[in-house]
Amino acid sequence: MARLKDLYKSRIVTELTKEFGYESPMAVPRIEKVVVSMGVGKAVQDKKYIEAAKKELTMITGQIPLVCKAKRSVSNFKLRQGMENGLKVTLRGVRMYEFMDRLINLSIPRVRDFRGLDTDSFDGRGNYSMGLSEQTVFPEINPAQVEFQQGMNITFVTTAKTDKEARQLLLLFGMPFKKE
């Protein structure tokens, strides 16, 4: 069993039940999925950028990403409808917990000048989104082989009804939020 899943079942459920007074263990918020996405704008000029990003995102998540295509044309960006310009991966179950463990304990501490995650990034429905400016913070990526720096967005989708519940859930998992 994944370490964070075991932590959730053994400690987090009881702490959240005690704090928010849930009637049933099934009412306790949990993380449904983690979505990792990359917008690869440079892919408009050259297809090798999307292939390199796809290879790196596969190494980071352990899953082959879905290639996203442009929904409409934007002349200022030389983007045409149907061109490949992004990647996304949806992680659930064991892979999700393993990715969260690596993100919280290995990758976030490697971010340069890190002062904590912003608490304003909750969407009002208990979901949290964060961004990373470069992919080299993950230990799977060899910085010497990186052709170009690429950022990514990471969204944690929870079953929490409010942002306060979701924030507490992520705090108990070990997310390093800024001190208020």
Question: pLDDT averaged over the chain?
Answer: 86
Confidence label for 156 from pLDDT (cuts 50, 70 and 90): very high
pLDDT at residue 71 in the model: 67
Residue in the block written with tokens 């470069």 = 134
Question: Considering the entire predicted model, what is its pTM?
Answer: 0.88
What's the confidence (pLDDT) of residue 129?
93
List pLDDT tens digits, range 65-101: 998 877 677 766 666 776 667 899 999 999 999 999 9
**pLDDT grade, residue 44 (50/70/90)?**
low
Q: Is 46 exposed, middle or buried (0-12, 13-18, 19+ CB in 10 A)?
A: exposed
pLDDT for position 111: 84
What's the CA gap between 28 and 47, in Å, rounded? 45
Which residues fall within 8 angstroms of residue 153, CB to CB, at 6 or more apart? 36, 37, 38, 39, 129, 130, 131
Q: What six digits make up the tokens of 14?
A: 């009881």
Which residue type is seen at 31? I
Report how far residue 110's alpha carbon sits from residue 128's, in angstroms, rounded to the nearest whole number.
20
**pLDDT at 60 > cutoff 70:** yes
pLDDT in tens, 111-153: 888 888 888 889 888 899 998 888 788 888 888 787 778 888 9
Q: Rounded to an integer, what distance in angstroms lies between the CA atom of residue 62 and that of residue 148?
A: 21
Give pLDDT, residue 15: 93
Give the architecture-level CATH label for domain 31-173.
Answer: 2-Layer Sandwich (3.30)
Q: Is the pLDDT of residue 45 over 70?
A: no
29: Cβ contacts below 8 Å, ≥ 6 apart: 16, 126, 158, 159, 160, 161, 165, 166, 169
Domain ranges of the chain: 31-173
How high is the pLDDT of residue 180?
A: 66
Per-residue pLDDT, 70: 72
Q: Percentage of the chain surpassing pLDDT 70?
A: 90
